[in-house]
Amino acid sequence: MKVLAICGAANKNRNTAAMLGSAFDGAMSAVGAAGEFVYLYDLNYKGCIGCHSCKLLDERKFARCAVRDGLTPVLEKAIAADVLLIGSPIYFSDITGETRSFLERYLFPGITYNKDHSPTYPTRTKVGWVFTMNAPGEFYKDFFNGLVTMTSRIIGDSEYVTAYQTQQFEDYSKYAATMFDVPMVKKRHIEQFPKDCEAAFNMGKRLAENVKQMINGTTNSTGSARSF
């Protein structure tokens, strides 16, 4: 079983990376399998260039991104992954540009322009999203559900966990940032964030256990054949 974590946050030691790390640990605890943690900001790559090579009725090109750059090996690993964990902070009501560029390159070869938009990947990968943000509560729920629906259709069963009203600075007094209720944010960081990380751990563990059961034949795969 292969577990792949894709971190779409710039900072390796802040909220998103920490929470995604918990999800990764959870998945690894369930399987003791091969796992890899990739930081997108370490890679040199761009988003989809719309060349449509991945739609060509040519089996050497079909369903694979033709662009060769720092993302290429990661895309192959993502396609082969049994459990894929993707983490992103919310930047301007969206995932980060790096996460978005990864998704374009990963998802577009995974669908056709056929009438049924049939997926080309085996759609048996379990996907767990991790989102962190400043906003309160359920602010971006529709957005998260939209992303999860998309990856469920193209990649495989998907779910998400969140941490909101995250701590951005150690010392808020050094920044132009009077909009924050600092005591509340600090309290949440101490009391709530560990619980959010625990929820991420449990998600990773659950997804990996689910795949394990599928491999052992106790649940059905939703796999569909790759075809054009």
Ligand X SMILES: Cc1cc2nc3c(=O)[nH]c(=O)nc-3n(C[C@H](O)[C@H](O)[C@H](O)COP(=O)(O)O)c2cc1C
- As measured in angstroms, the least distance from the Cβ of 180 to ligand X is 10
Q: Which of 121, 156, 166, 196 binds ligand X (CB under 6 A)?
A: 166
How far is residue 95's CA from residue 151's CA, in Å, rounded to a whole number? 14
Q: Are 148 and 129 in contact (CB under 8 A)?
A: yes
Is 169 an interacting residue with respect to ligand X (CB under 6 A)? no
Alpha-carbon distances, residue 22 vs 92, 136, 193, 195, 218 (angstroms):
25, 22, 11, 11, 27
DSSP string for 45-67: --------GGGSS-TTTTTS---
Q: Which is nearer to ligand X, 168 or 202 (CB)?
A: 168
Residues touching ligand X, count (CB under 6 A): 17
- As measured in angstroms, the least distance from the Cβ of 22 to ligand X is 13
Contact letters (x/-) for ligand X, 122-141, by CB under 6 A? ----------xxxx------
- As measured in angstroms, the least distance from the Cβ of 30 to ligand X is 24
Q: Is 148 strand, coil or helix?
A: helix
Is 213 an interacting residue with respect to ligand X (CB under 6 A)? no
Residue in this structure with the two tokens 């309290």, named with its chain if needed: 187
Q: Which of 1, 5, 16, 204 binds ligand X (CB under 6 A)?
A: 16
How far is residue 73's CA from residue 55's CA, in Å, rounded to a whole number? 20
Q: Is 36 strand, coil or helix?
A: strand
Angle 120-51-145 from CA coordinates, rounded to 5°: 50
Q: Which is nearer to ligand X, 11 or 224 (CB)?
A: 11
- As measured in angstroms, the least distance from the Cβ of 152 to ligand X is 23
- By C-alpha distance, which of 79, 110, 124, 96 is closest to 20? 96
- As measured in angstroms, the least distance from the Cβ of 187 to ligand X is 16
- As measured in angstroms, the least distance from the Cβ of 167 to ligand X is 8
Q: Which of 8, 89, 109, 156 binds ligand X (CB under 6 A)?
A: 89
Q: Which is nearer to ligand X, 188 or 205 (CB)?
A: 188
Is 83 an interacting residue with respect to ligand X (CB under 6 A)? no
Q: Is 76 strand, coil or helix?
A: helix
| DSSP label at residue 69 | S
Interacting residues with ligand X (CB under 6 A): 9, 11, 14-17, 89-93, 132-135, 166, 168
